[in-house]
Amino acid sequence: MSMAQQAEPALGRPPAPGSKQQDGRTARRPLALRLLARPEVGVFLGAAAVLVFFLIVAPAVRQGSSMATILYQSSTIGIMALPVALLMIGGEFDLSSGVAVISSALTASMLSYQLTLNVWTGVIVALAVSLAIGFFNGWLVVRTGLPSFLITLGTFLILQGANLAVTKLVTGNVATDDISDMDGFDQAKKLFASSFTVGGVEVKITVVWWLVFAALATWVLLRTKYGNWIFAVGGNKESARAVGVPVTFTKISLFMLVGFGAWFVGMHNLFSFNTVQSGEGVGQELIYIAAAVIGGCLLTGGAGSAIGPVFGAFMFGMVNQGIVFAGWNPDWFKAFLGVMLLGAVLINLWVRRTATRR
Amino acid sequence: MDRSSPSRSRRLAPMVAVAAAAALTLAGCASSHGGKKAEEAAQNASAGRADTPRMTVALVTHQAPGDTFWDTVRKGAEAAAAKDNIKLVYSADPNAGNQANLVQNAIDQKVDGIAVTLAKPDAMKNVIGKAEQSGIPVVGLNSGLSDWRKLGLLEFFGQDESVAGEAFGDKLNTTGAKKIVCVIQEQGNVGLTQRCDGVKKTFKGTAETLYVNGTDMPSVRSTITAKLKQDSSIDTVVTLGAPFALTAAQALGDAGSKAKVATFDLNKDLVKAVQNGSIEFAVDQQPYLQGYLAVDALWLYKYNGNYSGGGVQPVLTGPAFVDKSNVDKVGQFAAKGTR
């Protein structure tokens, strides 16, 4: 694990204003090794290996439209994997992120439908609810000092139960009603769930959002004070606090960022499928976390990147769809998925270990 | 008080702002069509009310949370309970061991009857034996067609999944399908596998299976899209639940495929899709009927000693087909969420 520490900027050191970081960690290394030591390079190579593998074994993957399908699946995981990764770099963990997506979609759908409102009202209230869930998680973690694992496990169960119970109470069914004929739906669908054509290939809008969010997260992490705070609170909370990092603000805002991601993906689900089943979302949190971990974020916090989880999510989407494109015996589906992911993670680990040796 | 008030108000401020914003939008941004206002007031089926002394019935299923199918079973059971002056205790757990505990719980409550699903009959064997020893009549519903007699249940209401699958395959033969893919939303589920196997048994063309992650709709959509692209000769997608059929119909568009969709089970959105032609047909095992009959049967047994099928034959609730020819009739019931 220690090799991953290489990627960590100035742990516990205040970002001295005006001076570029000169921590000496890369000064004596050749460029290739320096690159390899970045947390995202291992996963990049792993993803590339998986891509090449499926390009060879599954002819269908070679079409542009197949790549669009893979990117679509990757994007809905990837949009959530980004804030989940930032949260993990910040040393915390969110088990409620999978069902929070559905909570958000349910809120927007039921509010709009039951009160017969323009769906944008539901969308905005759902954002407030999602941010509030994130705030609640973060506030409780900071206030109690309990592991975020416990707190968010509690939230996970609360949301899972509330999704079901509230939906049943309000709609009389366990799924929401179709809102596709309501005012504002088409606009919202354009923003969250439309698609466009590039060179004859239909690409889903979520792919664009995914890349935009990834670029934004990378910039924040590497170029802003807030980015440094994230690394600092994840590395060592006490020393971060000692040098004036607003630990409480950073942690709560990271949980709220996960809330934002859940809202965004929830809106995508709602506007692309028109209705939401209240039991969905369970288990997705582990996939988001897996994408972040494959992407080089440490489970212990303090290290990682925003671009790594992009490749992590891509790898997940690639393996998931590649198995189908290859037409393999579906009984082995999950086993294949597990083997491919483990393989990719091991490549990732090996690359980092090789790069940081000597 | 004074010390805490500034920080509290600072924390409250965003909430107040959100509430205010919400109130404003509520006032100004009503939708002119769709929504609750457009939904007609639906009334539940009612067949008078029995004046027999109140009894308690436990319905214990293997429902996973938030599944539209089981919601319909429960509604049927509630309708029968309301009519028969029964207090209905509903509980469910997809884990067989936990479901057995819920049956034990019903025995401890000394209920007057138990209706139970047998998704994993072996796990339920002991606890059902205990119920019978305590003199509580037990009826089966939905799953367990091949085991209910062995376990000594009084009667059984459901659909034989294999029979339903076979009927489905026959129906596909009449639509001219040549190559189908059967989409399973939960790997390892016995009933779902039986359905696909039944379809394969009678279907004359070639059939493949595809597993999708049922808790993640975008993933379901892209996996079906991928399958259609991988094999462009697929002309029919068979799904095993209504929400997955609707998603499959979208995946056809994504893949640019001309294939058709046919499915097991219904809900009100699916009825609309059959009406507008995006779904070919649905096979309906009538979950409402399963819940209703199971509860009603316990009342009949207690007050008149009746049991359907004479304790030997199951009462089949399906398969009933819903397609263009009869969808309008079914649609008016589905709109209430009871079909």
Tally the residues of chain A.
Answer: 358
Q: Residue A126 has what pLDDT?
A: 97
Phi, psi of B61, deg, nearest 5: -120, 175
Do B22 and A121 count as a contact with CB atoms less than 8 A apart? yes
Which class for B219: exposed (0-12), middle (13-18), buried (19 or more C-beta within 10 A)?
buried
Give residues with Cβ within 8 angstroms of B323, minimum separation 6.
Answer: B274, B280, B281, B282
Question: Nearest CB to A173: which of B71, B227, B256?
Answer: B71
Q: Residue B159 has what pLDDT?
A: 87
Mind telling me how many Å the CA of B123 is from chain A's nearest CA? Answer: 24
Of residues B280 and B94, which shows the higher confidence score? B280
Question: CB–CB of B199/B223 below 8 Å?
Answer: no
Q: Residue B332 has what pLDDT?
A: 84
Closest by Cα among A153, A162, A171, A152 to A279: A162
pLDDT band at residue B292, thresholds of 50, 70 and 90?
very high
- Chain A residues touching B244 at Cβ < 8 A: none
Asked if the C-beta of A163 comes within 8 angstroms of chain B's C-beta atoms, the answer is: yes
Tell me if B55-159+287-307 shares its fold with B161-284: yes
Give residues with Cβ within 8 angstroms of A336, minimum separation 6.
Answer: A319, A323, A328
Q: What is the DSSP pairing of strand B113-117 with strand B179-184?
A: unpaired
Q: Residue A163 has what pLDDT?
A: 93
Q: How far apart are CA B245 and CA A332, in angstroms?
A: 23
- Chain B residues touching A281 at Cβ < 8 A: 215-216
Q: Residue B22 has what pLDDT?
A: 57
The answer, as to whether pTM is greater than 0.90, is no
**CA–CA distances in Å: residue A82 to residues A260, A299, A322:** 11, 15, 23
Q: How far apart are CA A170 and CA A167, in angstroms?
A: 5
Do A175 and B68 count as a contact with CB atoms less than 8 A apart? yes
- pLDDT tens-digit series, residues B128-183: 999 999 999 999 999 888 889 999 999 999 988 888 999 999 999 999 999 999 99
User: Which residue on chain A is closest to B63 by alpha carbon?
Assistant: A279
State yes or no: pLDDT of B221 exceeds 90: yes
Domain definitions of chain A by residue range = 41-357
State yes or no: pLDDT of B2 exceeds 80: no
**CA–CA distances in Å: residue B146 to residues B119, B121, B267:** 11, 9, 27
Do A73 and B269 count as a contact with CB atoms less than 8 A apart? no
Q: Residue B275 has what pLDDT?
A: 92
- pLDDT tens-digit series, residues B58-95: 999 988 777 778 888 999 999 999 999 999 999 988 88
Mind telling me how many Å the CA of A192 is from chain B's nearest CA? Answer: 13
User: Which residue on chain B is closest to A67 by alpha carbon?
Assistant: B226
Question: Nearest CB to B222: which of A58, A69, A116?
Answer: A69
Domain definitions of chain B by residue range = 55-159+287-307, 161-284
ipTM: 0.75
Superfamily (CATH H level) for B161-284: Response regulator (3.40.50.2300)
Q: Residue B90 has what pLDDT?
A: 92
Superfamily (CATH H level) for B55-159+287-307: Response regulator (3.40.50.2300)
Which class for A19: exposed (0-12), middle (13-18), buried (19 or more C-beta within 10 A)?
exposed
Residues of chain A with pLDDT under 50: 1-20
Q: Residue B287 has what pLDDT?
A: 92
- Chain A residues touching B70 at Cβ < 8 A: 174
User: Which residue on chain A is closest to B272 by alpha carbon?
Assistant: A178
- Chain B residues touching A317 at Cβ < 8 A: 222
Q: What is the CB neighbour count within 10 angstroms for residue B165? A: 29
What is the CATH topology of the domain spanning A41-357? ABC transporter involved in vitamin B12 uptake, BtuC (1.10.3470)
* Binding-face residues of B in 23-52 toward A, CB within 8 A: 25-26, 29-39
Mind telling me how many Å the CA of A213 is from chain B's nearest CA? Answer: 19
* Binding-face residues of B in 238-277 toward A, CB within 8 A: 243, 246-247, 250, 254-256, 267, 269, 272
Do A273 and B246 count as a contact with CB atoms less than 8 A apart? yes
Q: Residue A24 has what pLDDT?
A: 53
B339: tokens are 């079909």
Coarse DSSP helix, strand, coil percentages of chain A, rounded to the nearest 5 percent: 70, 5, 25
Tokens 């359907």 correspond to what residue? B308
- pLDDT tens-digit series, residues B173-195: 999 999 999 999 988 777 888 89
- pLDDT tens-digit series, residues B89-112: 999 888 888 899 999 999 998 999
Asked if the C-beta of A57 comes within 8 angstroms of chain B's C-beta atoms, the answer is: no
